[in-house]
Chain A
Amino acid sequence: MRNIFRIMIIGLFGIGTASGQITKVDQEVYGMDCAPCAYGLERGLKKMDGLQEVRVSLNDGKAYMGLAAENGLKLRSIQEEVKKNGFSAKKAEVTLIGNATKEDGQWYIETANERFSVSQDTPKALLQKLTVGTATISGTVQDEEDDNLSGQWSIVLTKIE
């Protein structure tokens, strides 16, 4: 009985803490054409808690971000910052540590505050490597409407570590 109680406490504690996080984001940005645009976006992103390094490239149309070892940053917050600067956030290449689950044949990777639905476009060889539990994965998050970000994403996996 005591062991069951311990397991319940550990389980509840586990749910209450961060079960995963994004560690790297290369965010595609459309519509950014000038140096002050890049400067403003870079400065806005640097103000976000959890971002360790930020570099914005006008020619690539991308914001390259390395996240702190402990962060609660959402991809949604990053894309909202892009929109706030007057641009459009498109696809994002991310690396994240998350909890992999399978429901009705569909794989999901969950961080502490967002859910990534694994796309059927993911190569089958990679899907076969996926197992339930903690996983470190990289992939391309598909573009969502800037005005309707829900924190639920579709991701095409490119790597499972």
Chain B
Amino acid sequence: MISKIFPKISLNIGYFKLIVLLAISGTAMAQGHGPLYGLQTPTLAKGGVDLNVAGMSLGTETETSYMLRYLFSYGITEDLQINLTTPTMIERLGDAPRTRGNSNMTANGDIEASLWYRFFSNAFGVGKRFESTAIVGVSAPTDDVRGQVNVGNSVHAAISTGYASRTWYGWIGGGYQYYFEKDGEQLGDLPYASAVVGYRPNIFMGDYPKPDWRIFIESLAEFPGDNKFEGQMDFTDSRSTKVLVGPSFLGLYGAWGISFGAMFPVVQDLTLGAVKERYRLAINLSYWL
């Protein structure tokens, strides 16, 4: 276990140095921050930098995973943002369900680079805007085998649209992740959809620089395809259906943000061999430079 962790830690120290270097050289602005699990739309300001550290856990019927994840985001323009996320796996799942962690961090041990393009934005009032964002990403696994299947690289694409105001928030979106075959085996693909509703109570309507809190109800619908094994005689190409719902909370103060939440499955119509989940937990700390 220790030997597995140490190479990853050294990788992340190098990554941390890169973040600091880029952060020092760049100008820094902030942009909105949304839900923890669901797809969202806000992008950073031009030249803005956002650093995130997240703790994530996923519980199945027999195992629990623990992971730290780091996310670096940079605003190329106010509508175009790049992201890079790497994991430190503390405890991996021997049999991992096919899922994404959230819109810009993967749940399993993948390193992912992504590009967000906010292709539509209409700020039509004080604190109010409609916007739509497209996401494309590529990822490489840090593990060779996941759920007894060889893990290949993957691509991810998603689109989301939403509304933000000082009181109400809402986003809907959908995405697709495709894992490439590796040594004759392939992880199942993952079409998914998300819907999020957010609310900021009056008590948290204090003006900047007072702390700013909001509550989200998040939901995910995932349709993971079956894995393909080497020597498999009959590939059925069937899909599971999972629906998860849960609350999350986002607190913002100046350049800092903290969000935490949980998701619980309400529907799990699983194919043979698919892993049943019990919960997903996440906490995320953000800092805008």
Contacts and interface: CB of A to CB of B under 8 A. Distances in A.
Specify whether A and B are partners. Answer: yes
B207 A58 contact: yes
Nearest to B42: A86
B210 to A, nearest CB: 8
Interface in A23-46: 28-44
B137 to A, nearest CB: 21
Given A31-B127, A83-B78, A87-B123, A39 B45 contact: no
Contacts of A47: 27
Most-contacted residue by chain A among B48, B208, B286 (CB, 10 A): B208
Question: Do most interface residues of chain B lie in helix, strand or loop, or is the interface mixed?
Answer: loop
Nearest to B205: A59
A31 B128 contact: yes
A37 B126 contact: no
Interface in B249-285: 252-255, 257
A85 B45 contact: yes
Interface in B179-215: 205, 207-212
B30 A36 contact: yes
Contact of A37 (B32, B46, B128, B211): B32
Interface string B21-36: 0000001111111000
B29 A41 contact: yes
A43 to B, nearest CB: 6
B121 to A, nearest CB: 7
A66 interface: no
Contacts, number: 118
Nearest to B211: A35
Contacts of B52: none
A14 B58 CA distance: 71
Contacts of B8: none
A85 B129 contact: no
A34 B252 contact: yes
A155 interface: no
Most-contacted residue by chain A among B30, B164, B255 (CB, 10 A): B30
Contacts of A28: 126
B252 A35 contact: yes
Contacts of B43: 86
Contacts of A84: 29, 45-47, 78
B253 A35 contact: yes
Interface string A81-98: 001111110000000000
B31 A31 contact: no
Contacts of B235: none
Interface in A112-155: none
A144 to B, nearest CB: 15
Interface string A46-61: 0100000000111111
B190 to A, nearest CB: 30
A-B pairs, top 3 by smallest CB distance, nearest first, are A31-B123, A61-B126, A40-B30
Interface of B: 27-33, 42-48, 78-79, 118, 121, 123-129, 164-166, 205, 207-212, 252-255, 257, 286, 288
Given A34-B252, A60-B126, A86-B118, 11 more contacts: A30-B128, A31-B124, A33-B166, A39-B288, A40-B28, A40-B30, A43-B28, A43-B29, A84-B45, A85-B30, A85-B48
